[in-house]
Amino acid sequence: VPVFLFVAAPYIRRYVAGGRCKSTARLEGKVVIITGANTGIGKETARDLAQRGKVIIACRDTAKAEAAASEIRAETGNQEVIAKKLDLADTKSIREFADRFLAEEKELHILINNAGVMLCPYSKTADGFEMHLGVNHLGHFLLTFLLLERLKQCAPARIVNVSSLAHHGGRIRFHDLHGEKSYNRGLAYCHSKLANVLFTRELARRLQGKFQRQAGLTANALHPGSVYSDLVRHSFVMTWLWKIFSFFLKTPCEGAQTSIYCAVAEELDSVTGQYFSDCQPAYVSPRGRDDETAKKLWSVSCELLGIQWD
């Protein structure tokens, strides 16, 4: 068995690594925002895109964000890698980030909603939303709403939402969105990842009018794969398992490939409302294809955030 594993190891790793983005598309003169890009797949996505154009790293921890930006600037030679404060667990912070960005930057071509929380003990955001739903879905929903006009003005443009295979285990529990009646942190994560898929589907549908056909503003979602990162830090058991089975998990660089693919691949110029994994279309759960639930979630999200998004 040890000999077999030694011989098979390179093939196993190649399989685990999955698809790679082969696009060499440049982003000169273009601006990218990546949320949660101070670590993990977000940081690796920023590292790649910084070799192509201007990247704004939007994170809650400004010290870690600046450290990541500094590292990427030194490595790529691109001085247009900028760290900005964004706390997706606080709508005030989201609005402040959007206001500052719109005042300072005249361009926005790619928005990658990458940041996320996973397996958190029960807690709420500054606005009283359950943490997984609040950060993973509602925070990015509001951020996209606030930046949408700039994306339209700069189209062709892309919105990329990092979801997960975990969406298959999710449900939108409208009767208990904030987990006040019952809470399971694993399921809460699944629910929020399903919300990402449904948000992408409904956003793409709403953009598929005359504007989208002419100018090319697209929205797609993706599963990055099972990645060895600190996303599981809230669970001792998952952290332990991640270390034991790290050989069978993607590296952050491998996990970033589908995000990069959705952001730059030329063949996706007019593709919208889709879900990808390993740089190719992937299966979406029946709940992730439920248009009525997607429309209701949109309406409820607007109500919770106090916005009108028609």
Rounded to whole angstroms, the Cα distance separating 92 from 126 reads 9
Q: What is the pLDDT of residues 140-182, one digit of tens each?
A: 999 999 999 999 999 999 999 999 999 999 999 999 999 999 9
Q: Does residue 15 fall inside a structural domain?
A: no
How far apart are alpha carbons 301 and 265 in whole angstroms? Answer: 30
The residue with greater pLDDT, 275 or 3, is: 275
| Contact (CB, 8 A) for 198 and 167 | no
In which residue are the tokens 């691109």 written?
Answer: 78
- Decide if 185 contacts 195 (C-beta within 8 A): no
Predicted structure pTM score: 0.90
- Report the pLDDT value the prediction gives residue 63, as an integer from 0 to 100: 97
Give phi and psi for 134, each to the nearest 5.
Answer: -65, -45
At residue 242, the pLDDT reads 46
* Cα 215 to Cα 232: distance, rounded to the nearest angstrom: 39
CATH number of the domain bearing residue 214: 3.40.50.720
Residue 206 contacts by C-beta under 8 Å, 6 or more apart in sequence?
Answer: none
Phi/psi zone of residue 224: left (φ > 0), alpha (ψ -120 to 50 degrees), beta?
A: alpha
Average pLDDT for the chain? 90
Domain count for the chain, please give it: 1
What gap in Å lies between CA 2 and CA 5, rounded to an integer?
Answer: 5
- Give the count of alpha carbons within 13 A of 133, CB side only: 28
What is the pLDDT at residue 10? 56
Q: State the SS3 of 237-274.
A: HHHHHHHHCHHHCECHHHHCHHHHHHHHCHHHCCCCCC
> Is 14 within a domain?
no
pLDDT for position 16 = 61
- For residue 294, give both structure tokens: 């997607």
* 12 found inside a domain: no
The answer, yes or no, to whether residue 281 has pLDDT greater than 80, is: yes
Per-residue model confidence as pLDDT tens digits over 71-88: 999 999 999 999 999 999
Residue 122 catalytic? no
> Three-state SS for 122?
coil
- With respect to residue 6, please indicate whether it lies within any of the assigned structural domains: no
List the domain range (segments joined by +) for residue 183.
29-305
Active-site residue, from 11, 189, 228, 283 = 189
Assess if residue 278 is contained within a domain. yes
Residue 2 domain flag: no
Q: What token pair was written down for 262?
A: 């959705």
Residue 3: inside a domain: no
The answer to the question of residue 24 being in a domain is no
Residue 214 pLDDT class (50, 70, 90 cuts): very low
Tokens 């009646």 sit on residue: 181
